[in-house]
Amino acid sequence: MKVRITDIQHFSLHDGPGIRTTVFLKGCSINCPWCANPECISSQIENEFGKDISLKELEKEILKDKPFYETGGGVTFSGGEPLLQIEKLEPLLKSLKNNNINICFETSLFIPEKYLELANKYGDEFIVDIKILNEIECKNILNGDINQYLNNLSLLDLDKTTFRIPLNEFTLTYENINLILELLKKFKAKKLEIFKIHNLARKKYEILNKEFYFKYVSNEQIQEVYEKFKEIIPNTNIIEI
């Protein structure tokens, strides 16, 4: 069995607890105009982006870092949307669990429920994005179904979940921030990370011949929403990705 990836990043510090190995899987169910990993959106191999790797080879790469996982780390499956390939990943996930390796999934939750059921079976940690919650804007901007997102969110163990919000002109609207605050209250979120979009992916967009979107967000804007979120979730952090 093989899965399609774009990269394996060793010694990751921002993709879950501890020191981690992050596997970037190719393919996504939505299309964020600000995506920092545009090479992961399409499931097809594009230019130099993407390769098929056997589960045996992938496990070998992950186990190289096992001594570092004693910090409380492990492996994080990111993307793209890693849960689109979770059925193919399942034999590897079983083996990793047998090796007592912590498994984290970073997901947008715009996926069929059956994929999340599998993820719940193996995941020790979840990083869940909160992007655009208005139903019409979610569809028009992300090509996402907000009802699918909310249904999947209700199926997660929130004690295992870190919410993550990318801050940009689409997500920083007055309406969207208030909708996010309401959602965080409703689901009694335990941990939140926020970050502002950067322009480090510009070169990848050029290689892919895609339009690059970037609009500056000030530190003052970040601080303002940080204070609002902090009132609801004390464990709120500003991170750099």
The yes/no answer on whether domain 2-238 falls in CATH 3.20.20.70 is yes
Alpha-carbon distances, residue 72 vs 101, 176, 199 (angstroms): 9, 34, 31
pLDDT at residue 211, rounded to an integer? 86
d(CA 156, CA 25): 21
pLDDT digits (tens, 9 = 90+) for 129-187: 999 999 999 999 999 999 999 999 999 999 999 999 999 999 999 999 999 999 999 99
pLDDT at residue 104, rounded to an integer? 98
pLDDT at residue 214, rounded to an integer? 78
Tell me the mean pLDDT in the region 99-118: 97
Residue 241: pLDDT above 80?
no
Closest C-alpha among 169, 175, 176, 171 to residue 213: 169
- At 135, the amino acid letter reads E
pLDDT digits (tens, 9 = 90+) for 9-66: 999 988 999 999 999 999 999 999 999 999 999 999 998 899 999 999 999 999 999 9
Confidence class of residue 110 from pLDDT cuts 50, 70 and 90? very high
Query: Tokens representing 207?
Result: 């290689």
d(CA 10, CA 12): 6
β-pairing, 2-12 vs 20-25, is: antiparallel
pLDDT digits (tens, 9 = 90+) for 184-219: 999 999 999 999 888 788 899 999 999 888 788 899
pLDDT at residue 221, rounded to an integer? 92
